[in-house]
Structure 1
Amino acid sequence: MKKTPLLNVALSRLVASLGHGDIVVIGDAGLPVPAGVELIDLALTHGVPDFVTTLRVVLSEMQVESHVLAEEILLKHSPALQALDELSTSGELGSRELLSHEAFKVLSRRARAVVRTGECQPYCNIALIAGVTF
């Protein structure tokens, strides 16, 4: 049995397979998944699992160099924004880039996988760019 918080087999496999610069998207329940991009669907019902909890668990194993958000999350004052700012300040998310939501969806075409949560707050999506531990 694993000692770290991440127990989901598909997510654990994904993180273990990442190379420097690979992209993992964690998205809300409504984010479209581009054709050809792996979907790891965790959504059970509205809000379960939520975006922030899912992000924190992924970060328990993934080294992140930078992250990308849709600028609309700032305009909508999402409840997740405080947690994102705290994670960014603590260095867990690396540097931040902002794109329009449409440009974010285009970026997601390059993702190794999209992790769908049950989050139903708009624009609760993040692209994590893998870093290295050395």
Structure 2
Amino acid sequence: MKKTALLNIALSQAVASLGHGDRVVIGDAGMPVPPGTPLVDLAVTHGIPDFLSVLQALLSEMQVESHLLAEETLTAQPPALAELERLTAAGALGRRQWVSHEELKALCQGARVQIRTGECQPYTNLILVAGVTF
């Protein structure tokens, strides 16, 4: 049995397959998934699982170099934004890059994996860029 918080087999395999610079998308329930992008669909119902729970579990195993957020997130102010700010300040998410929501959606193409949560707050989407541990 694994000792880390991340128990989902598909997510563990996705993290294990990451190389430096690979992208992982954590999206809300409405974030489109480009054709050909591997999807781990965790959404069960409205709000389950929530975005932050999935992010915390993923961070227990993934080395993050940087992350991308949509500029619209600042305007929408989803509840998860305060925790994203805290994690960024603590260094858990690396440096931040702001892009438009349309650019964020376009960057999902070519992601190593996209994770669909049950989150139903607009603009609760994030791209994590894998770092290295050495």
* TM-score, normalised with respect to structure 1: 0.99
Counterpart amino acid of 1:133?
A: T
In the TM superposition, what is the alpha-carbon distance from 1:105 to its structure 2 partner?
Answer: 0.5
Query: Any gaps of 5 or more consecutive residues in structure 2?
Result: none
Structure 1 residue aligned with 2:108:
108
- Report the alpha carbon displacement of residue 100 of structure 1 after superposing the two structures with TM: 0.6
3-state secondary structure, aligned to 1:109: coil
- Measure how far apart 1:117 and its partner are: 0.1
Cα shift at 1:58: 0.2
- Counterpart-to-counterpart distance in 2, 1:110 and 1:71: 21
Does 2:73 align with 1:73?
A: yes
2-structure distance, mates of 1:2, 1:62: 15
Determine the structure 2 residue equivalent to 1:15: 15
**Deviation for aligned residue 1:110:** 1.8
1:56-67 equivalence runs, <5 A: 56-67=56-67
For 2:49, what is the secondary structure of its paired residue? coil
The answer for the alignment partner of 1:121 in structure 2 is: 121
C-alpha distance in structure 2 between counterparts of 1:86 and 1:60, whole Å? 16
- Tell me the SS of whatever aligns to 2:108: helix
Per-residue deviation at 1:77?
1.1
Q: List per-residue Cα deviations over 1:89-126 (Å, max 9, x = no partner).
A: 11110000011100100111020110000000001000
Structure 1: runs of 5 or more not aligned: none
Partner of 1:40: 40
TM-score normalised per structure 2:
0.99
1:2-40: per-residue Cα shift (whole Å, max 9, x none)? 010000000000000100000000000000000000000
Q: Following the alignment from structure 2 to structure 1, what is the Cα–Cα distance between the partners of residues 109 and 125?
A: 14
C-alpha deviation, 1:60, in angstroms: 0.5
| Aligned AA (2:47) | G
Two-structure CA RMSD over aligned residues (Å) = 0.5
Which structure 2 residues correspond to residues 75-94 of structure 1 after superposition, within 5 A? 75-94=75-94
Identical-pair percentage: 63
What count of residue pairs does the alignment treat as equivalent?
134
Q: Secondary structure of the equivalent of 1:98?
A: strand
